Structure 1
Amino acid sequence: MLDKTRVPVIVGTGQVTDTSSPPESARSPLQLMVEAAQLAAADSGSGAALLRSLDSVTVIRLFSDTVPRFASPFGKLVNPPWSLAQRLDAQPTDLVYPPQGGDSPQVLLARACERIAQGESQAALIVGGEALRTELAARRAGLALQWGEDAPSQPNGLDGVKDMYTAEEEAHGMRSAIAMYGLIGQALRGAAGQSVDQYREASARLFAGFAAVAKANPLATRRAGYSAEAIATVTPDNPYVGFPFTKLMTASAFIDQSAAFIVVSEARADELGIPEDRRVHLHGSAAAHDEWFVSDRPRLDQSPAMRLSAQHALAQAGCTLDDLAFLDIYSCFPSAVQIACKELGISPDDPRELTVTGGLPYFGGPGNNYVTHAIAEMVRCVRSQPGSFGLVMANGGLVTKEAVGVYSTRRPTRPFVRERAALIQDQIDRIPSQPLNHAPQGEAVIETYAVLHGKNGPERGVMFGRLVATGERFLANTPDDAQTLARLESTEALGLRGQVSRVGEINVFVPTF
């Protein structure tokens, strides 16, 4: 018999989406999180009593504390989980504010389950929220909102924040998700033998399926149900944000959304009278990271961390891909989904659909917190088909940190054990990294590339190249004249030859068209 005080179970979820409140009356991130937590408690059937019993509160890192250009002008929460607990009438001893990354909701759920299984916790809340839509509107209106709050202590930051980019990547203008996911996408295109047009059309077809799910989801922020043609076609309303991806192929960040879920021990659920039909278990979980910096990876079209994390999570759950009724694959860019499908062995047109929410471009991309929404939706899905299984794949960084969870209403038959990351990480760490030539000179070819856009069109070509003589990889920019950038977008540039040299602090590759 399993000890009920050590069997973790998700008992409540809550989500909030606000697309219309004017900035002077809209909610702050903290207010959105309070509402999501209250909805999660109500979803369990036990309400405020569940919130008062919390001994652990985790707040997913706010985007304002993650990306410098998103720093809020309206103040800072010194200890977000403490501020939230005060408003929920809770007195948790475990206050966590983890490092950045879209993988963090899944990772922190596994942590909460592990703490319950080890007798360290009985009730934990995981919540996140963003109000970037309101913040942008308030800035434009010249409002001075007050969203900050002091606190008597600092939260547990776990391992702390770690930079995702090298100095050389930054020097070459690659310090952005659009640059790196564009480079990964082009590498995937090359590996698949697709032309520029074929890849754009395939990416659009893929995301049209996500848009269709969002159309039916009342919590989604973009519910137009965009067609593949609309997603692929470049227009003033749908420009390239970075070639090869249009605006409708990228995460929609300027939204107001919050989500929460509560995990407790079975014993606590029994004490609070939480019905059996509210209870969902995390049957399998695993997490790992690929080579940390993109330019150090030997291949950009592969993710061993995705593949191995999924394999381990499914094995722990005792099921296979064919046993899954529901899927949610992290979808900040088409390349994130495409590489996941490749590593999991799932077709991009799998009839089960690849999202339960509508995905980051159409449901919404609330900073690091999208996967909290995905987990909340997955809980709803498996409740609707008792005994079914669903898989959530979370991605953090630049196809860097991967976390997978397998969910079901079925009661587990063995104690919860959090998969040791070292079991997977040791395999990945044995893969040799790719050395760079930092001052390349001579004939070279383009390995992968992207064209970054601003408000007025293409601005910069970024690329990984290979020296013809030695095969060494290097980072470079192309000339930024309009003709060169236009040619990179209109012709096949993978494998294109040219000359590379060091110019000041960067490498410049001049292609031979």
Structure 2
Amino acid sequence: MTIAENTPVIIGVGQFAERPGDAAYRALSHMDLAGEALSAAIADCEAGGAVASAIDTIAAIRQFEISIPGVVPPFGASDNPPRSIGKRVGAEPERAILEIVGGQGNQKLVGELAQDIAEGRNQMAAIVGAEAISTVLTLSKRGEKPDWSEEIGGQLENRDVSLRAQFDRPLAANGVRDIIPLYAIFENRRRADLGLSLEEYRQKLGELLAPMSEVAAGNPFAAAPTAYTAEELAAVTERNRIVAEPYPRKTVARDQVNQGAAIIIASAAKARELGIPEERWVHIHAVTNTNEPTILSRPNLASSGRAVASVEAALSAAGIGMDDVRYLDLYSCFGIAVFGITDAFGLSTDDTRGLTLTGGLPFFGGAGNNYSAHAIAEAVQCLRGDPEAYALVNANGGVMHKNAVGIYSLRPADWSSARRYHEVTTDQADVPVLESFDGEGIVESYTLVPGHVSAIIGKTSGGERFVATPADDAATDVLKDGEPFGRTVQVTSSEKGRNYFTFV
């Protein structure tokens, strides 16, 4: 097959990591880590020509420090991250993008920028990001405060950082604001549907994640390269405490990382001009992107229907089925993000293909919004040794609010005859949500952080959702036992916007 000149192809990927205990630890800033990753991606191209100067677009992924409005980075930050990163490798792009918040960012950008290349708007783009959360904590404990601020200036497409569309006011009003207890709402609803106790469900989490830890143990870029058994992950101990039911600490994403990753995409014409061997080109067969409504308005609290639809649409656009995929990386910040896909496609937690290429977010590391760049980099390296295979990368953002999927292969993909980047929507009726409620309802799910946060999500007889917190110790004790599902509660609202419940 003749590959058309405007065909977008991945020509280089790079990763970089350091741990505070490493002998060569340099305590690099976010921008330095990202620069190292982009430099590695440039070297990976094995080009005969100059790659850095040919990059016309750099899209940077937001580090966590600049992902929350009003939060001030402790050591300062760049006013133009993509140009700061480009400066470290000698790239001066015409276009600089700072992507919106969410772990779907890298995967979504692959589709968006590939479409730009296919339609002639640019010829070569780099997607790059990094986190230095571990170093920030390490230096802060030492009492050190380096200056990581950079004034670069220049054009910047600074995309919306607002998180308001993702969160429900009733959850925040009732004390549920953090990511882990929010994900626990989904996890507990799935547990209820399966009829499992807390202990039984923790074992299922352990069985899902133990094989991932084995992959991480062999990955030189992993933040926590240690293999665990399912039983070790499921056991609640002093070092594996409950962070929100049903999650022991080791079963959730590890955000204390120092990692960077980069992806370089070019038109076939530009790749040829730079002398990049065609046998190294990885083709983008499909990319899909989708968005869910807020947590409380979703029809199903046990999964993300649009995430499943996004995977289905990507497979359809690529003209393959799940059985045709040889390499899988399912975003694993929390078990429910993986279970939502495995449940829908009948995948076993011990699928012989494995469910991660990196080692998963609890063990490889939840590299902020940038994790999926590492997954794509691993997929590219796997495919270069397996020319007939397909890889699927699933990327999740927010509290399962956003999902992006990519399908890759060394087999050529024809971008001239079909659009391969799709925004996926589905017809689903949103559930009405009440901010204030007085009356009886039925418990759908709950969240509990021992000693800190507890709340139920319930439904009225009319089908509206509400959030309420325990009115007394007896109500809290039922949540601690882990079996409030389907029980009737009496709810009373307060002037401060919080609802209180007791069990009837």
Residue 454 (structure 2) aligned to one of 434, 437, 461? 461
Deviating more after overlay: 470-479 vs 99-108: 470-479
Contact 2:174 2:467 (8 Å CA) reproduced: yes
Look up the match of 1:434. Answer: 431
Which residue pairs with 1:195 in the alignment? Answer: 197
Q: Is the 8 A contact 2:109 2:127 kept in 1?
A: yes
> Where do 1:127-206 residues align within 5 Å?
127-153=128-154, 155-158=156-159, 161-163=162-164, 164-206=166-208
Q: Does 1:509 align with 2:501?
A: yes
Pair 1:393-2:394 in alignment: yes
**2:47 aligns to what SS in structure 1?**
coil
Of 473, 477, 480, the match for 2:469: 477
Letter in 1 for 2:492: S
Quick one: distance in 2 between partners of 1:501 and 1:290?
30
Which one-letter code corresponds to 1:86 in the other structure? K
The verdict on how the C-alpha distance between 1:119 and 1:2 changes in structure 2, with shifts beyond 3 A counting, is farther
Cα 1:47–1:377 shift into 2, 3 Å: farther
Q: Residues of 2 paired with 1:20 and 1:47: CA distance?
A: 36
CA RMSD of aligned residues (A): 2.1
Corresponding residue number in structure 2 for 1:285: 287
Partner of residue 443 from structure 1, selected from 440, 445, 455: 440
The SS at the match of 1:5 is coil
* Post-superposition CA distance 1:183-242 (Å, at most 9, x none): 000111122232222211111110112111111212111122011111111111111111
Q: Write out aligned runs for 1:208-219 (5 A).
A: 208-219=210-221
**Structure 1 residues 160, 247: CA separation in 2 closer, same or farther (over 3 Å shift)?**
closer
Structure 2 equivalent of residue 8 of structure 1: 8
Separation in 2, partners of 1:174, 1:42 = 45
Residue number among 486, 491, 494 corresponding to 1:500 in the alignment: 491
Contact kept, 8 Å, 1:448 with 1:465, in 2: the verdict is yes
Q: Is the 8 A contact 2:7 2:415 kept in 1?
A: no
Distance in 2 (alpha carbons) for counterparts of 1:273 and 1:472: 60
Q: Percent identity over the alignment? A: 36
What letter is aligned with 1:169?
Answer: L
Deviation string 1:22-64 (CA, Å, 9 cap, x unpaired) is: 8994100000011100100111112881111100001111111
The alpha carbon displacement at 1:439 in A equals 2.5
Q: 1:241–1:189: structure 2 CA closer, same or farther, 3 Å change rule?
A: same
Alignment of 1:378-417 (within 5 A): 378-415=379-416, 417=419
Q: Which runs of 5+ in 2 are unaligned?
A: none
Q: How many residues matched?
A: 500
Distance in 2 separating the partners of 1:48 and 1:135: 37
Separation of aligned partners in 1, 2:430 and 2:108 = 25
User: How far 1:414 moved relative to its partner?
Assistant: 4.6
CA contact (8 A) 1:465 1:475 kept: yes
1:2–1:414 CA contact under 8 A, matched in 2? no
Instruction: Report deviation, 1:505.
Output: 2.0
Letter of the 1:433 counterpart: D
| Inter-CA distance 488–412: structure 2 relative to 1 (3 Å threshold) | same
| Structure 2 counterpart of 1:498, one-letter code | V
1:159 Cα offset (Å): 5.1
Q: Which structure 1 residue ranges, 5 or more long, are not aligned?
A: none
Alignment of 1:116-127 (within 5 A): 116-127=117-128
Which stretch has the larger CA shift, 173-182 or 341-350? 341-350
Q: Could you tell me which of 449, 452, 463 is aligned with 2:449?
A: 452
Q: Is the 8 Å Cα contact of residues 249 and 361 (structure 1) preserved in structure 2?
A: yes
CA–CA distance in 2 between the matches of 1:434 and 1:324? Answer: 35
Partner residue in 2 for 1:321 = 322
Structure 2 distance, partners of 1:48, 1:184, is 50
Q: Compared with structure 1, are the counterparts of its residues 24 and 405 closer, same or farther at alpha carbon in structure 2 (3 Å cutoff)?
A: closer
Give the conservation status (yes or no) of the 8 Å contact 2:11–2:266.
Answer: yes
1:46/1:273 contact within 8 Å kept: yes
Q: CA deviation at 1:270?
A: 1.3
Per the alignment, in what secondary structure is the counterpart of residue 51 of structure 2?
helix
SS at match of 1:492: coil
